[in-house]
């Protein structure tokens, strides 16, 4: 038959004696048989079409990268001698030996697959990651109705890269409003503009200083903005200075640092938001 090895799941062990007898009756040379443990669901039941996603296509549609899926599946039930987890196909071929297959069943862990995908996302070049993530981000922002801006979105690509394992993660962040303030003006609660240990008057003083300073600096990068304000913030209290600035720019308790936000939304919008926060405190 020109077949040297039959490699399959352990659920075929019971078929093996009958198949060997048929081969011998037909005069065929018996191949070597290897049966590897099955892949189980998280509850250790057998994976099936009726329970969970078992088709590779469904994971591709969710944005899992082919190389991440391949790499993860290769590691289910096998440990390479090098103990490496992230491997190319050529590296797997070079290290593979049937004797290294595990004897116990392997549990399919979606979180581990997400981890593998994250490793490959981190290895993407900038253009490939932009093509991978930005269309999803654009669709989600447009569906949210906050006014998509391509220039702003391009600047957010590095931030997305730090946060996601798969594109579905973008949808969760967008749904929680984490990016709204980059595209639309934030709604402010005046009582939250000052830092907890500070006063409204002090917050206004710090915002006025930030407005004047940022209006005059030549560069407009996170580093340039930080350099312009850092000495003042260190002297007056970083929380007291930077909290009202970050809140004025984002309207959120949790957001990226104000230097990054300002660099992304631009000088004009930064100054307008500071002015709006100052005006809000006097109403």
Tens digit of pLDDT for each residue in 153-193? 999 999 999 999 999 999 999 999 999 999 999 999 999 99
State residue 38's pLDDT score.
Answer: 85
Domain CATH number, residue 112: 1.10.1160.10
- pLDDT > 70 in the chain, percent: 97
The closest of 150, 154, 149, 143 to 177, measured between CA atoms, is 143
Question: Which band of pLDDT confidence, cut at 50, 70 and 90, is reported for residue 52?
Answer: low
Whether residues 152 and 194 fall in one domain: no
Whether residues 49 and 82 fall in one domain: yes
Please give the sequence-ordered ranges of beta strands (E in DSSP) within 121-228, or none if there are none.
none
Let me know if residue 185 belongs to a domain.
Answer: no
User: Is this structure's pTM higher than 0.85?
Assistant: no
Domain CATH number, residue 263: 1.10.10.350
State residue 53's pLDDT score.
Answer: 61
3-state secondary structure of 54: coil
Let me know if residue 56 belongs to a domain.
Answer: yes
What does the alpha-carbon distance between residue 88 and residue 66 come to, in Å, rounded to a whole number?
Answer: 12
Whether residues 205 and 269 fall in one domain: yes
pLDDT in tens, 59-71: 988 999 999 999 9
Go through 104-113 and write b for each residue having 16 or more CB atoms within 10 A of its CB, e for each that does not.
ebbebeeeeb
pLDDT in tens, 106-124: 889 999 999 999 999 999 9
Whether residues 277 and 255 fall in one domain: yes
State residue 252's pLDDT score.
Answer: 95
Whether residues 48 and 94 fall in one domain: yes
User: What are the CA-CA distances from residue 19 to residues 11, 49, 55 (Å)?
Assistant: 14, 27, 29
Whether residues 144 and 224 fall in one domain: no
Low-confidence winner among 1-5, 82-86, 95-99 (lowest mean pLDDT): 1-5
Let me know if residue 22 belongs to a domain.
Answer: yes
The CA-based angle 221-264-245, given to 5 degrees, is 85
State residue 161's pLDDT score.
Answer: 95
User: What are the CA-CA distances from residue 57 to residues 42, 63, 77, 83, 180 (Å)?
Assistant: 20, 10, 22, 29, 32
Query: Which of 145, 180, 215 is where one domain is finished?
Result: 180
Query: Is residue 94 over pLDDT 70?
Result: yes
Let me know if residue 167 belongs to a domain.
Answer: yes
State residue 104's pLDDT score.
Answer: 87
Whether residues 29 and 56 fall in one domain: no
State residue 1's pLDDT score.
Answer: 63
Whether residues 171 and 210 fall in one domain: no
3-state secondary structure of 82: coil
Let me know if residue 65 belongs to a domain.
Answer: yes
Whether residues 140 and 157 fall in one domain: yes
Tokens for 138, please give them.
């654009």
Please give the sequence-ordered ranges of beta strands (E in DSSP) within 79-222, or none if there are none.
106-107
CB 188 within 8 A of CB 251: yes
Average pLDDT estimate for 220-233: 98
**Residues in contact with 87: Cβ distance below 8 Å, sequence separation at least 6, in sequence order:** 71, 74, 80, 95
Let me know if residue 79 belongs to a domain.
Answer: yes
State residue 2's pLDDT score.
Answer: 82
Query: Which of 180, 199, 217 is where one domain is finished?
Result: 180
- pLDDT > 90 in the chain, percent: 81
State residue 228's pLDDT score.
Answer: 98
Low-confidence winner among 47-56, 85-94, 230-239 (lowest mean pLDDT): 47-56
Let me know if residue 18 belongs to a domain.
Answer: yes
State residue 43's pLDDT score.
Answer: 81
Structurally, the chain folds into a number of domains equal to 4
Residue that is written with structure tokens 């007056």 in the block: 236
State residue 91's pLDDT score.
Answer: 96
Whether residues 129 and 54 fall in one domain: no
CB 150 within 8 A of CB 182: no
The pairs formed by 150-153 with CB atoms below 8 angstroms and a separation of 24 or more are: 152/182, 152/183, 152/264, 152/265
Domain with 14, as residue range(s), is 1-36
Instruction: Find the largest Cα–Cα distance for the chain.
Output: 97
What does the alpha-carbon distance between residue 259 and residue 243 come to, in Å, rounded to a whole number?
Answer: 12
Question: Which band of pLDDT confidence, cut at 50, 70 and 90, is reported for residue 49?
Answer: low
Query: Is residue 212 over pLDDT 70?
Result: yes
Question: Which band of pLDDT confidence, cut at 50, 70 and 90, is reported for residue 240?
Answer: very high
Whether residues 194 and 270 fall in one domain: yes
Query: Is residue 128 over pLDDT 90?
Result: yes
CA-based R_g, the chain, Å: 28
Whether residues 30 and 85 fall in one domain: no
State residue 184's pLDDT score.
Answer: 96
What does the alpha-carbon distance between residue 234 and residue 236 come to, in Å, rounded to a whole number?
Answer: 6
State residue 67's pLDDT score.
Answer: 95
Let me know if residue 85 belongs to a domain.
Answer: yes
Residues β-bridged to residue 9: 36
State residue 136's pLDDT score.
Answer: 96
């Amino acid at each position: 038959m020109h077949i040297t090895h039959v490699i399959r799941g352990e659920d075929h062990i019971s078929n093996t004696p009958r198949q060997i007898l048929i081969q011998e009756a037909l005069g065929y040379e018996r191949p070597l048989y290897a049966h590897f443990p099955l892949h189980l669901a998280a509850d250790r039941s057998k994976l099936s079409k009726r329970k969970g996603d078992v088709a590779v296509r469904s994971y591709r549609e969710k944005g899992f990268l082919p190389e991440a899926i391949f790499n993860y599946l290769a590691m289910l039930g096998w440990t390479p001698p090098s103990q490496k987890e992230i491997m190319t196909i050529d590296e797997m071929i070079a290290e593979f030996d049937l004797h290294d297959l595990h004897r116990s069943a392997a549990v399919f862990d979606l979180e581990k697959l997400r981890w593998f995908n994250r490793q490959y996302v981190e290895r993407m070049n900038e253009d490939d990651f932009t093509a991978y993530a930005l269309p999803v981000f654009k669709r989600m922002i447009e569906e949210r109705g906050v006014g998509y801006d391509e220039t702003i979105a391009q600047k957010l690509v590095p931030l997305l890269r730090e946060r996601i394992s798969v594109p579905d993660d973008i949808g969760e962040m967008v749904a929680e409003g984490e990016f709204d303030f980059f595209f639309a003006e934030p709604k402010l609660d005046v009582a939250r503009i000052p830092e907890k240990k500070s006063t409204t008057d002090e917050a206004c003083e710090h915002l006025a200083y930030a407005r004047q300073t940022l209006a005059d600096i030549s560069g407009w990068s996170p580093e340039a903005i930080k350099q312009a304000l850092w000495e003042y913030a260190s002297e007056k209290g970083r929380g007291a200075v930077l909290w009202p600035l970050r809140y004025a720019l984002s309207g959120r308790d949790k957001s990226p640092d104000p230097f990054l936000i300002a660099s992304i939304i631009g000088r004009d919008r930064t100054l307008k938001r500071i002015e709006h926060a100052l005006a809000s405190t006097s109403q």
